[in-house]
Structure 1
């Protein structure tokens, strides 16, 4: 009984993922995810650079006084 249910579930799983267009859709979703990750890294890096620039300017002003 369990083997039959497992076999049926595996067949349904294979049928779902082997449909035309599913793999291309997943590829597009993964590209979008990678682009979002890259965008988040760029935003984080720019914020970090702003913080570093601010602290450098403050440090320089403190040294001049």
Structure 2
């Protein structure tokens, strides 16, 4: 592997692959609950990009009730 190829790698993705997810549409999310279940679902919402790549949509928390 050349030095140039080594510097382009970041983790498992190349720098070009990381930019590809920015074109995904935004999806507004509303959440019911704020105690234990709210914390659990907020954590899942934040971890979604780690589970599915590239994301079909970027979740955005818009309301908590």
Question: TM-score by structure 2 length?
Answer: 0.26
Going by fraction, where is strand more abundant, 1 or 2? 2
Higher CA-based Rg = 1
Going by fraction, where is helix more abundant, 1 or 2? 1
Question: TM-score by structure 1 length?
Answer: 0.26
- Greater RCO, CA 8 A, separation 6+: 2
